[in-house]
Structure 1
Amino acid sequence: MGRGAQSLARVAVTVRAGAAPLWWLGVLAAGTGLLLPGLTGRRIGVPAGAVLFLVTAAAVALVRRRRYTRLADCATRAGRHDVLQDRRVTMKVVRRSRRWWLLLAFLAAVASSLVLPAAGGALLAGAGAGLWLKAVWLGRRERTEETLLWMRTDWLAGGAVGKPVKGFCTTGIAAGDAAPGGARRRS
């Protein structure tokens, strides 16, 4: 990674940005699905949704951990002239770029309730919970190593470890306005 001035966004904030919208849209879709009897009925739909929630949360939390670890192990120190993007701005950019996918996922979850009540919503909520668990895992790693992980903002569209991401940068634990794990920093 070059040493020119660049704008950096927190990796954990990028991961955490999708957690809340997926969780709340999933809960809303599951609640809507409970109002519809569906083809299989609630007796089958709700337990199937619970299983889908657990499996999806575990899968999302564990997927691509090796790539995160590899990029974090090879991270370089952020330059003196690098600009650190605010947490609020990063959340807004990431959520705005994915809003249409979230809308389509919500509509698909509600439509799936006609067959299996609440299962699609539970799947969405599980994805949100998995992203939150991944951000917590990143936060634990950041606290242990006492470094915060950052990525270039022009790579945000591909996700935290997408193909465009060539490496992470690190700063000290006090840099930026987000705590380890991407949560708001408490003063």
Structure 2
Amino acid sequence: MRRGGQGLARVAVLVRAGAAPLWWLGVLAAGIGVLVPGLTGRRIGLLAGAALFLIAAAAVGFSRGGRGARLADEAVRAARGDVLQDRAVSVRAWRRGHRWWLVLAFVVALASSLAAPAAGGLLLAGCGAGLRLRAAGIGRRERAADRLLWVRVDWLAKGAGRPAGPLVKGWRTTGVAAGDAAPGGARRR
């Protein structure tokens, strides 16, 4: 790295990094949970799970937008010496840092199937869908402003990997051609 340069990770990629594992672990937990009759029965468990899925997707997808919007509006241009982190590296680092939380969430979702079959798994899948919605919202903001949003990697390490956490002081911007991820954090085609 050049003198004075910072490592930068894409905000949308970090938000989207948790979507796939939460979704697939939730679907797996719901599938296994359906096999167990549970205390409430399958029908009530599935109906409760569907309601929890919708509530979780809306709550995760549309919450905490104020701080992110403020950080996006106040973002400054990245310096010439800043190093842009690859999408795959950002995703791998986020998932490695959160793997025990993902395992714990999966175990809790499975255990909840004893009471309400599939409800915990669908709640977990709803959280994954909500993260995907939030990343899509960041992507719309990036396309509208014609700039990509980045956060310093050293601030992420201190703030438990949250791009809009309290320890993050600001975001940086680049043009839309920078990096290897499209607006919204998806792979560039």
**Shorter chain as normaliser: what TM range?**
over 0.9
Write out aligned runs for 1:58-137 (5 A): 58-137=58-137
- 2:163 pairs with 1:160: yes
Structure 1: tracts of 5 or more residues without a match: none
Identity of aligned residues (%): 69
The aligned amino acid for 2:123 is L
Q: d(CA) in 2 for partners of 1:161 and 1:169?
A: 12
Which residue is 2:35 aligned to? 35
Distance (whole Å) between structure 2 residues aligned to residue 171 and residue 50 of structure 1: 40
Check whether the contact 1:158–1:165 (CA below 8 A) recurs between aligned residues. no
TM-score, L = length of structure 1: 0.97
- The aligned residue for residue 181 of structure 2 is 178
- Between the aligned partners of 2:147 and 2:43, the Cα distance in structure 1 is 48
Task: Give the alignment of 1:9-48 within 5 angstroms.
Answer: 9-48=9-48
Letter in 1 for 2:130: G
In the alignment, is the contact (CA less than 8 A) between 1:57 and 1:129 conserved in 2?
Answer: yes
Residue identity opposite 2:107 in structure 1:
L
Distance 1:155 1:61 in 2: 23
Do 1:61 and 1:131's aligned partners in 2 also have CA atoms closer than 8 Å?
Answer: yes
Q: What SS does structure 2 have at the residue aligned with 1:103? A: helix
| Contact 2:94/2:161 (8 A) holds in 1 | no
1:9 and 1:150 in contact (8 A); partners too: yes
Local SS of the residue matching 1:8? strand
TM-score by length of 2: 0.96
CA distance in 2, matches of 1:155, 1:27: 32
| Alignment deviations for residues 115-143 of structure 1 (CA, whole Å, 9 cap, x no partner) | 00000000000000000000001001101
Task: Tell me how far apart the structure 2 counterparts of residues 145 and 104 of structure 1 sit (CA, whole Å).
Answer: 38
* Offset of residue 155 of structure 1: 2.2
CA drift of 1:80 comes to 0.3
Figure out how many residues of one structure are paired with residues of the other and give that number.
184
AA partner of residue 175 (structure 2):
G
Q: Secondary structure of 1:98's partner?
A: helix
In 1, Cα distance between equivalents of 2:133 and 2:55:
13
Aligned residue for 2:148, secondary structure, equals strand
Deviation of the 1:154 alpha carbon: 1.4
CA separation in 2, counterparts of 1:82 and 1:158?
A: 19
In structure 2, what is the Cα distance between the partners aligned to 1:42 and 1:158?
A: 37
Extract unaligned runs of 5+ from structure 2. Answer: none
SS at match of 2:103: helix
1:61 alignment partner AA: G
Aligned-partner SS, 1:9: strand
Structure 1 residue ranges, 4+ long, deviating more than 2 angstroms after superposition: 155-158
1 CA distance for matches of 2:168 and 2:127? Answer: 22
